[in-house]
Amino acid sequence: MPCRIGPHVKNEIKVEDPVSGSVLTFYYRIPNSEERRAYMSAIWEREKDTIRSRLTEARFEFGLKILEGFGVGDFEKEVAQGQFSSISSDPKDPLFDPGWKDLIAKERPDLIEALAAHIFEGVRVRGAQTEIFDEKN
């Protein structure tokens, strides 16, 4: 499948959730160049002669910025003790929960961090080759 780009493209990623044992679908937007630079800067904090990693915080902050929704039936919230109801991130869906993003941020920040790690850090290069030169030639 080609890489689609444009303002109305719905990007999707499947995440294997070790807690529920299911595969969740997240919808996200591609970060712009400024956000990519800000993300890389946010990973480290310098205070005088000390450098501290802020990787977890940066992943959470920027993952939350690009998260736009999730797949139908992927999340349920507790509505009463032991009773759960499906929620939706789609405003057109009757199960839409306007607090869906805050709920995921509070209850499953690890999923938001996983999204950011993949989108901001996960570029892989296939088929990179190293030429071997024969000293005799």
Contact 116, 26 (CB under 8 A): no
pLDDT tens digits, one per residue of 42-58: 999 988 889 999 999 99
Per-residue pLDDT band for 10 (boundaries 50, 70, 90) equals confident
Query: Once rounded to an integer, what is the mean pLDDT over residues 109-124?
Result: 91
Decide: residue 66, CB within 10 A, 0-12 exposed, 13-18 middle, 19+ buried: buried
Domain limits, the chain = 11-121
Contact 68, 28 (CB under 8 A): yes
Query: Once rounded to an integer, what is the mean pLDDT over residues 122-127?
Result: 66
